[in-house]
Structure formats: structure tokens, C-alpha cells
């Protein structure tokens, strides 16, 4: 494998990593398991609802940035989803293979939590969640507030008339990631480019492998810097507390978890939440005017928008869902979107209602792989969204809703561009 040795700043213009950019699509065609409705990005599409209503199991293609496409049994009901995600006989979809000799990909990188089951997963997960303590998250609160204010200042200066994705939804979580990893701020455009490619299903395998090599090289440099002098951040904590038992390669995998998982999901949620609130002005007023509702409001947005990548598992023995057989070796994929809407479909809970008593949801998954960064994600959303609408009470779209473009090529759903003025 050819791996670049100098990756402190990502070489964005390297022709080997030029991304095949998807045409901006105005139709919110997300992945089949989380397919959205016609021109509405907030609801499951009719095809998905039909599959949900049909009691028999269906197999759907699941795009995978490394493997192209994998067939998987679609799980859409919330109780089935919870049963699958909490049953250890459904293992992670693409398990780590210690004997792998081919080119490295995220699926065979040591330390990446979603590559492991059982005791190995528990061991890595304890270390990683130990670094995400409430103390550290609370300590980040003031930092995040400042980042939000700085970006709102910059938006105000640049406008009126900005793309809120480029000026707010993307940079905010990126800077938090840099804080978590002790990465220099000037690296953020490279981190954005690399993590977007990692989540894209519209690239060649070669592009993915090259991108992954650059990401691991970059992370290896950060790990080496923390080995020399552990910083006051998550990577520093891991080195201080577990540096003796973890190899550099494992630390690289754990760092990559944060770098990739903690960015696209949050920028997707911020952009889509702003769009949902602008489309429901009475709900927007609730969030802007009553701070005590921000926690419940964020839960409601997480439930409704369900931006997560496919939750894929593989049966390690013959199993059944609703008395229907799933064979050993078969993949299943959970539709978080459908599960979050399913129990309440065609009832008022299908729509956005920020005052609703929180409906339990699967936006962060369920069971042993449930999102390790969820408290941080909630905090960022609770700080960012009300502050945005307080600063710009007259925020409005400058293009018709139907012309909004979506990240249709990404495993994580979101708005591609959000032109606004005030
Ligand atoms: C709104 C933002 C976020 C959403 C919607 C989200 C969603 C999810 C979901 C659904 C899973 C479960 C995957 C599965 O079971 O297959 C997951 C796992 C994970 N998330 Fe998040 N996430 C978010 C933010 C973050 C952040 C900010 C971080 C870290 C900085 C993070 C790190 C992780 C990691 C490391 C895992 C793997 C956990 C394991 O396998 O044990 N996520 N996330």
C-alpha cells in the first residue's frame, strides 16, 4: 500500500483523491433504508412507509463506501430495531479481521468501535467513553458557546445573504472536533474534506483507500504529538490513562472514530434542523423564546430528522424477526428514520412539535453501540440553534423550499446548501 508520509495538512489537490462530486440534487433521495418523502426531507418516503406497513421482511441494497452495495433485511419497526440492536447474536455488520492483508480501510482499522463485538468492544468502548465524561463535556460548554458566538458574528458580517451550511453548520462541529483531538485549527478544511469523502458512497474504492491512508497518516501524527505531550483533550486523556496498553495504531482508530463520526452527523442535524424550523415558524418561535424547552426541542428534532448512517448488523446464527427467518451470515439494516416515525405514523407525532413530551427515539442507535458522543451532540445543538434564531429573528430562506439541495451521496443525511438572509 502506498501511504503518504507527510499528512499534517491534508493534500487536497492530490489528483488521486479528487472526488467525483455528485450533482446537487433537489430531491432528498437519501439511502433506501432512510428514504425521504418526495420533496419533503422530514418524513419517510411512501415506498418506505409501504415496506413498513407490510408485515413481511424485505431485503434492500445498503450502500457502503468500501464494498459498494450490500443486501440487507430492512428493519423498520421500533421494537424490532431495539430487539436487533440489543441482541449480541447480531454482530457488527463489517467486523474487524485481524488477518486482513489487503489495503487498509475503516473496516480493518484497529480501535474503531464499530468494528468490534463482545469483550473487545467493551474494552475499547470503556476507554473511549471514559474520555467523554460529563465533566469534559461540561467544560466544553463555554468553549462551544464562544465558537457559536464567533460564528454568528462572522455570519452577520458576511451577510445578509449567506450559505448557512458553509458559514455555520459545518465549521461549528469541525472546530469542536479540533478541540477534542488537539488538532490545529488550520487543519479543519482538510478534516472536512476527508471526513466527507469517508462518508460518501459516490467515490471509487481507490479514492476511499487513498483518503483513508491520508486520514490515518494524519491521525498518526496527532497521536505521536500526544505521546510526546498529552494535551488536555480526549486524545490526550486516552494517552494519559491507557497509553501503555494501546498501540499507536489503536489510538489512531479511536481518534478516527471522533474525527469521522462527530462531524457530518452534527452538521447534518444543524442544517436540517434550521430548515425544519424555518418551515415551521410557530415552532421556531417556541425554540427562540423559551430557553427551558431547548432540551426537549432538540430531542424532537433528533427523532424527526434521523440523519444517522445505516445501522448494519450481521446475524451470527439463524434468527427470526416477527417469526420470519433471518439466516446466519445475513445482514440487517435498521431504518432509524422509519423506526422514529413508525410508532406514531399518521398521528400528530408525525409532525414537528417541540412542546411534545419526548418520544423515545433511535437517532443515536440503541444497545451496546449507542452513540458515544450523544451528550456532546445534544449540547452543541442546544447551544447552536436557539442562539442562531435569537441573533437573526428574521432569518429566512432566499430560495424556494423546493430548490434546497441535499447530501444525496452521503451515508449521513443533511442539507448541502442553505441560502438564507435576514
Ligand atoms: C447528531 C449527531 C450524532 C448522531 C445522529 C449520531 C448517531 C450515531 C448512531 C446512530 C450510532 C450507532 C451506530 C450503530 O449502532 O451502528 C453512533 C455511534 C457512534 N457515534 Fe455518534 N452520532 C452523533 C454524534 C457523534 C459525536 C459528536 C461523536 C464523537 C465526537 C460520535 C461518536 C460515535 C462513535 C465513536 C460511535 C460508535 C460507538 C460504538 O460502536 O460503540 N457521534 N452515532
Backbone angles phi, psi at 324, to 5 degrees: -115, 140
What's the pLDDT at 203? Answer: 83
396-404 own/partner pairs: CB under 8 Å, 24+ apart: 396/278, 396/420, 396/421, 396/422, 397/275, 397/278, 398/161, 401/39, 401/275, 401/279, 402/26, 402/39, 403/26, 404/26, 404/41, 404/275
263 C-alpha to ligand 1 centroid (Å)? 10
Q: Is the pTM of this model over 0.75?
A: yes
Per-residue pLDDT band at 20 (split at 50, 70, 90): very low
- What are 211-231's pLDDT values in tens digits? 999 999 999 999 999 999 999
Mutual orientation of helices 188-199 and 264-278 as an angle, nearest 10°?
90
155 C-alpha to ligand 1 centroid (Å)? 28
Return the residue whose CA atom lies nearest to atom 18 of ligand 1: 371
- What are 67-110's pLDDT values in tens digits? 777 888 999 999 999 999 999 999 987 767 777 777 778 888 99
396 C-alpha to ligand 1 centroid (Å)? 31
Return the residue whose CA atom lies nearest to atom 3 of ligand 1: 265
Lining ligand 1 with CB less than 6 A are 113-114, 125, 257-258, 261-262, 265-266, 269, 307-308, 311, 363-365, 369, 371-373, 376-377
Nearest to 36 by CA among 401, 419, 350, 305: 305
75, 126, 261, best to mutate for ligand 1 pocket (most atoms within 8 Å of CB): 261
Per-residue pLDDT band at 139 (split at 50, 70, 90): confident
Ligand 1 atom nearest to 310, measured from its CA: 16
Q: Class of the 15-421 domain?
A: mainly alpha
Amino acid at each position: 500500500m502506498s501511504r503518504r508520509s507527510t499528512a499534517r495538512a491534508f493534500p487536497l489537490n492530490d489528483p488521486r483523491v479528487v472526488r467525483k462530486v455528485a450533482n446537487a440534487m433537489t430531491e432528498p433521495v437519501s439511502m433506501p433504508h432512510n428514504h425521504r418523502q418526495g420533496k419533503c426531507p422530514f418524513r419517510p418516503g411512501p415506498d418506505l412507509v409501504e415496506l413498513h406497513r407490510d408485515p413481511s421482511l424485505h431485503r434492500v441494497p445498503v450502500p457502503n463506501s468500501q464494498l459498494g452495495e450490500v443486501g440487507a433485511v430492512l428493519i423498520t419497526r421500533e421494537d424490532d430495531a431495539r430487539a436487533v440492536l440489543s441482541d449480541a447474536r447480531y454482530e457488527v455488520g463489517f467486523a474487524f479481521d485481524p488477518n486482513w492483508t489487503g489495503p487498509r480501510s475503516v473496516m480493518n482499522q484497529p480501535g474503531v468501535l464499530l468494528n468490534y463485538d463482545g469483550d473487545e468492544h467493551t474494552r475499547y468502548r470503556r476507554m473511549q467513553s471514559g474520555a467523554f465524561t460529563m465533566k469534559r463535556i461540561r467544560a466544553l460548554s463555554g468553549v462551544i458557546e464562544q465558537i457559536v458566538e464567533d460564528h454568528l458574528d462572522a455570519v452577520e458580517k458576511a451577510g445578509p445573504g449567506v450559505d448557512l451550511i458553509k458559514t455555520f453548520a459545518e465549521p461549528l462541529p469541525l472546530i469542536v472536533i479540533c478541540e477534542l483531538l488537539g488538532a490545529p485549527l488550520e487543519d479543519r478544511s482538510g478534516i472536512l474534506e476527508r471526513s466527507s469523502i469517508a462518508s460518501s458512497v459516490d467515490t471509487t474504492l481507490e479514492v476511499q483507500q487513498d483518503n483513508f491512508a491520508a486520514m490515518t497518516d494524519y491521525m498518526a501524527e496527532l497521536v505521536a504529538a500526544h505521546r510526546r505531550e498529552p494535551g488536555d483533550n480526549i486524545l490526550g486523556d486516552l494517552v494519559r490513562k491507557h497509553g501503555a496498553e494501546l498501540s499507536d495504531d489503536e489510538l489512531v482508530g479511536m481518534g478516527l472514530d471522533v474525527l469521522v463520526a462527530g462531524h457530518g452527523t452534527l452538521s447534518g442535524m444543524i442544517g436540517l434542523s434550521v430548515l425544519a424550523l424555518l418551515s415551521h415558524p410557530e415552532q421556531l418561535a417556541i425554540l427562540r423564546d423559551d430557553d427551558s424547552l431547548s432540551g426537549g426541542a432538540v430531542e424532537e428534532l433528533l427523532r424527526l430528522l434521523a440523519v444517522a448512517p445505516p445501522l448494519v448488523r450481521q446475524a451470527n446464527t439463524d434468527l427470526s424477526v416477527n417469526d420470519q427467518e433471518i439466516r446466519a451470515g445475513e445482514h440487517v439494516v435498521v431504518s432509524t428514520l422509519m423506526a422514529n416515525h413508525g410508532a406514531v405514523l399518521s398521528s400528530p407525532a408525525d409532525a414537528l412539535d417541540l412542546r411534545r413530551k419526548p418520544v423515545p427515539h433511535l437517532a443515536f442507535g440503541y444497545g451496546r453501540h449507542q452513540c458515544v458522543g450523544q451528550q456532546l451532540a445534544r449540547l452543541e445543538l442546544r447551544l447552536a440553534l436557539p442562539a442562531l434564531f435569537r441573533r437573526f429573528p428574521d432569518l429566512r430562506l432566499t430560495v424556494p423550499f423546493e430548490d434546497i439541495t441535499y447530501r444525496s451521496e452521503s451515508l449521513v443525511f443533511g442539507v448541502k446548501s442553505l441560502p438564507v438572509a435576514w
